[in-house]
Amino acid sequence: MILTDKRILLIISGGIAAYKSLDLVRRLRERGAVVIPIMTKAAEEFVTLLAVGALAAHKVHTDLFSRDDEVDVGHIRLARDCDLVLVAPATADLMAKMANGLANDLASTVLLATERPVLMAPAMNPKMWSNPAVSRNASQLLIDGVHFVGPMRGEMAEGGEAGTGRMAEPLDIVAEVEALLDTAPKPLAGKRAIVTSGPTHEPIDPVRYIANRSSGTQGHAIAAALVKSGADVTLVSGPVTLADPRGVKVIHVERAEEMRDAVLASLPADIAVMVAAVADWRVATRSDEKIKKSADGSVPSLEFTENPDILKTVGHHEKRPKLVIGFAAETNDVETNATAKLNRKGADLIVANDVSPETGIMGGKRNRVAIISRDSVDRWPDLSKDEVADRLVTLIAEKLAGA
C-alpha cells in the first residue's frame, strides 16, 4: 500500500467543508498513513480539536508560538518531518496567504517552510472561487508547483447555491495523495490500452434480455492494474454493479454492437485486453413493445443472429494494437480450445480459465488461469483476480519491451 507509514501533514483551515476532513483523516489512516493535523483558528469554529485529535490519534498543532514545540522550532520540524502537506479544506484566505508568501500563523508558516509536495483541496462559495483574486492566487500556486484536487461542481454544504466550490470527496483526495506519493515504476507510461469487461445484454423486448454470467471483476481489475502501471486506459464495460475504476476512461454500453463500436472508436491503441463475456448471439428482430403472454398458452420463439466478434475484429484490424489479448472461458478442454481461439481471433495471448460452476470463478474473487501463446502454455496458480491482473500487466510490459 502506497500510504503505509507515510506522514501526511493535514492542514485544516476554516470552512464548513472541514467536517469532511474528519472522514478524510480516517480514510488516510485506513491506508496506513500517519496523519499529523494542524488546525487554523477558524477551523476550530467548525470542528473540534478533540474530534480531529481522536480520529488522527495524534496531537493537533494549532499555535505558531507553542511553548511545548518551540524548543526545537516546531514549525520547521513539522514542515520537514512529513512526506506531503495536504490542505483540506483550503480556504480562499489560506490560498491567498500562501500565494503571497505570508506567514502569520502555524499553517501559513509551515506552507512557507516546507519543501515537500503540497496538495490543496479548495472549498469555498462558488462566487468566491470565481473571483479574479482567487483565480489569480490559484494560478500563482500552480506556477509555484502546488497540486490541486477539486473544487467540484455541486450543491454547497450551506445549502441553496450550486456551482464550483465544493471540496473534493475524501476518497478522491486520498487517490490524489496516493498518486503524488506513488514511486512505483510505470513501465506502461505513454501506452494506450483498451479493455472490455462485464457481460453484454441483448434485448428481446424493452424489459427482457439475454446475457452471459459475468460480474466484470476480472476485466475491471485489469483496467485498474494497467492504470497503476502508467497506461492511458479506456474501459468499455457492459452492465455491471462495480464502481468505475479510478483514473480510467469508462464507456458504458449494453449490447455487443455498442461494445464493438466503442472499442473501434477507441483505436489506435498499443494494448487490447478483451475480457468481456460478449453474448455470441442477439435476437434477430427485437420487439419495441413488451411481448405479451398469449391466452392460449403458446410461447414465442426467438430467432437469433450472430453478434460481431470484437476480439476477432480487433485482432485483424488495420489499426491492430501491438498486443491483443483475449480470454477463453471454457468448461471443458480448456487449453485445446484456447489454442484454437488464439489463431482464429488473431490474438497474441489467450488467458484461459475453467468456468465450470464447481470452480466458483464466475462472480467469485479468485481465478486460476493458463496463459497460452503460440509456443507456450504457462499455468498460473490459484490467485485473486487482482493478482491475476497485476501479473498479466507485468507480462504485458515485458512483451511490449520485447523481453
H or E stretch at 78:
helix 74-80
**What grid cell was written down for 263?**
472499442
| Closest CB 383 distance from ligand C5P, rounded Å | 19
**Cis-peptide, bond into residue 268, ω within 30° of zero:** yes
Distances (CA, A) of 14 to 26, 122, 129, 239, 273: 19, 11, 15, 42, 47
Residue placing its CB nearer to ligand C5P in the complex, 44 or 330: 330
| Closest CB 389 distance from ligand C5P, rounded Å | 15
Residue placing its CB nearer to ligand C5P in the complex, 79 or 272: 272
Q: What are phi and psi of 297, to 5 degrees?
A: 80, 5
**Helix-strand-coil split of the chain, %, nearest 5:** 35, 25, 40
Residue placing its CB nearer to ligand C5P in the complex, 131 or 359: 359
Give first-to-last CA distance, the chain, whole Å: 28
Residue placing its CB nearer to ligand C5P in the complex, 170 or 216: 216
| Closest CB 335 distance from ligand C5P, rounded Å | 13
Residue placing its CB nearer to ligand C5P in the complex, 309 or 354: 309
Q: What gap in Å lies between CA 88 and CA 72, rounded to an integer?
A: 26
| Closest CB 82 distance from ligand C5P, rounded Å | 45
Residue placing its CB nearer to ligand C5P in the complex, 309 or 348: 309
Q: What gap in Å lies between CA 169 and CA 261, rounded to an integer?
A: 33
Residue (of 243, 253, 256) closest to 212 by Cα position: 256
| Closest CB 69 distance from ligand C5P, rounded Å | 59
Q: What gap in Å lies between CA 161 and CA 154, rounded to an integer?
A: 8
Residue placing its CB nearer to ligand C5P in the complex, 56 or 352: 352
H or E stretch at 134:
helix 132-143
Residues 272/273/276/277 CA torsion (nearest 10 deg): 110
**What grid cell was written down for 217?**
471483476
Residue (of 127, 125, 151, 153) closest to 138 by Cα position: 151
Q: Which residues, in sequence order, are CB contacts of 143 under 8 Å at separation 6+?
A: none
Residue ranges in contact with ligand C5P by CB under 6 A:
196, 256, 274-276, 278, 280, 307, 309-311, 326-328, 341
| Closest CB 260 distance from ligand C5P, rounded Å | 8
Residue numbers annotated as active site: 212
β-pairing, 118-122 with 147-148?
parallel
| Closest CB 113 distance from ligand C5P, rounded Å | 54
